[in-house]
């Protein structure tokens, strides 16, 4: 009997019922959310998604609805705290009551808070991915850091089963806020290797020669991403790197001021800004990716640059030391508004021998952060939490 039992194939694990919730739809959090929903759905899990139409980008909504998920719920959630949160909380509770979910996963601060707050009742494990804590913003004042830090600590301590940080830097930040170490996991975002198909098209659209040296930026045109630092640095570097161009891919509230700076630079024929290409389409057209951000948790742009085998120049932001070996496949710079060092580093990266050596190193290291690895690690975490829930329900908790 024992031998017969041993010869039987093990039963396949049951599919999980997952609820994924996000308030913003752009940037890295939106990308991660779509990848996670699509990936878990493809693996046979029952995935329902909740998004907010308040700030939803049309492309995000189209992509989400095209996945064929059992349900994609639109729930009005606003970025800033306010009375509207009451209605959003009630609607989320209604979805939870009817879903019989094994895991609820909130992404970014607003969805993370609304999905974790709960009343006593049957426990459904709550997972939270901040995608950069608000307290990581160096421009946030002491009062704001204390307030947001206290909120994040309270939610992590009393309402969170697992906090997923997307880099070791973000984990260290969570620990500095005294969040429970035993509830924190690090799962680095993953990407598919970008295609080279649009590289020539992008260059041709701006009249950039195939042999020109292109410094590239991808991201929201916002204070967090600091694209104005890059424009200032390129104005200094351009004289030394004669056959060079700067290509900025993105849109946002700083677009008008950036275009004005470019027009006043005298280098408007060598600086280009567009939102007509996506990051994965654009990155292969660059020689060097430049990320002058003020703060990040783990940037998808950085991962895409690495997956494309591109040297990267970045400020010392979250994830930089995970992806960049300083002086090997890129450079890590102090996080400063003084752009003189950034300009000098751009010039150095374009030197023939430096660029050749760094490009070879970047090519060797490009397969470290894949989407499949991220999905594998997340699925293992989900199953562990769901199994623990079935064996030993945690109280108090609720839907």
Amino acid 141: pLDDT = 87
Q: Is the peptide bond before 396 cis (omega within 30 degrees of 0)?
A: yes
Which residues in the chain show pLDDT less than 70? 1-12, 119-121, 389-399
252: left (phi over 0), alpha (psi -120 to 50) or beta: left
At residue 152's C-alpha, the angle toward residues 147 and 156, to 5°, is: 150
171-191 pLDDT, tens digit per residue, is 999 999 999 999 999 999 999
- Model pTM score: 0.77
pLDDT at residue 127, rounded to an integer: 97
Q: Residue 98 — φ and ψ, nearest 5°?
A: -95, 0
Q: Tokens 């009249």 — which residue?
A: 207
Tell me, what's the pLDDT at 7?
Answer: 63
| Domains, in order of start, for the chain | 15-190+371-391 (3.40.50.2000), 199-364 (3.40.50.2000)
* List of residues 6+ apart from 175 with CB closer than 8 A: 181, 184
Both tokens of residue 221? 């045109």
Residues 6+ apart with CB under 8 A from 104: 19, 21, 96, 115, 124, 125, 126, 127
Per-residue pLDDT, 293: 96
How far apart (Å, rounded) are the C-alpha atoms in residues 303 and 31?
Answer: 12
Give helix then strand counts, H and E, for the chain.
16, 13
User: Residue 247 corresponds to which tokens in the numbers above?
Assistant: 């290509």
Q: What one-character-per-residue DSSP string does 8-25 give?
A: SPPPPPPPPEEEEEES--
pLDDT of res. 246: 98
pLDDT at 132: 86
> How far is Cα 200 from Cα 209, in angstroms, rounded to an integer?
9
Residue 12: predicted pLDDT: 65
Q: DSSP string of 299-326?
A: -HHHHHHHHTT--EEEES-TTHHHH--B
pLDDT at 399: 43
Q: Is residue 359 a contact partner of residue 136, using CB atoms and an 8 Å limit? A: no
Burial (CB < 10 A; 0-12, 13-18, 19+), residue 215, is buried
């Amino acid at each position: 009997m024992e031998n017969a039992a041993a010869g039987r194939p093990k039963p396949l694990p049951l599919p999980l019922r997952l609820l994924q919730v996000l308030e913003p739809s752009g940037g890295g959090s939106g990308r991660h959310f779509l990848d996670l929903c699509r990936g878990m759905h493809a693996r046979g899990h029952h995935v329902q998604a909740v998004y907010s139409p308040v700030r939803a980008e049309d492309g995000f909504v189209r992509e989400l609805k095209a996945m064929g998920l059992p349900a994609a719920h639109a729930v009005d959630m606003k970025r800033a705290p306010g009375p509207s949160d009451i209605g959003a909380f009630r609607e989320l509770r209604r979805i939870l009551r009817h879903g019989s979910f094994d895991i609820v996963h909130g992404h970014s601060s607003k969805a993370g808070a609304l999905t974790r707050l709960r009343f006593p009742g049957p426990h459904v494990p709550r997972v939270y991915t901040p995608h950069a804590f608000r307290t990581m913003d160096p421009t946030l004042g002491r009062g704001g850091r204390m307030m947001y830090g206290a909120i994040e600590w309270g939610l992590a301590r009393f309402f969170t089963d697992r906090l997923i940080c997307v880099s070791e830097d973000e984990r260290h930040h969570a620990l500095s806020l005294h969040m429970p170490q035993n509830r924190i996991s690090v799962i680095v975002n993953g990407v598919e290797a970008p295609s080279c198909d649009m590289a020539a098209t992008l260059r041709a659209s701006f009249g950039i020669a195939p042999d020109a040296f292109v410094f590239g930026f991808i991201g929201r045109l916002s204070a967090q991403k600091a694209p104005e630092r890059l424009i200032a640095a390129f104005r200094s570097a351009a004289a030394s790197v004669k056959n060079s161009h700067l290509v900025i891919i993105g849109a946002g509230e700083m677009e008008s001021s950036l275009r004005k700076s470019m027009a006043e630079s005298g280098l408007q024929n060598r600086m280009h800004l567009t939102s007509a290409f996506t990051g994965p389409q654009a990155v292969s057209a660059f020689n060097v990716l430049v990320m002058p951000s003020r703060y990040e948790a783990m940037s998808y742009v950085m991962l895409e640059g690495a997956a494309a085998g591109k040297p990267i120049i970045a400020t010392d932001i979250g994830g930089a030391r995970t992806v960049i070996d300083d002086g090997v496949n890129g450079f890590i710079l102090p996080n400063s508004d003084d752009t003189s060092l950034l300009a000098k580093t751009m010039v150095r990266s374009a030197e023939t021998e430096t660029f050749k050596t760094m490009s070879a190193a970047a090519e060797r290291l490009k397969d470290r952060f894949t989407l499949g690895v991220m999905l594998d690690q997340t699925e293992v975490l989900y199953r562990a939490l769901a199994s623990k829930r079935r064996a030993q329900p945690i109280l108090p908790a609720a839907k």
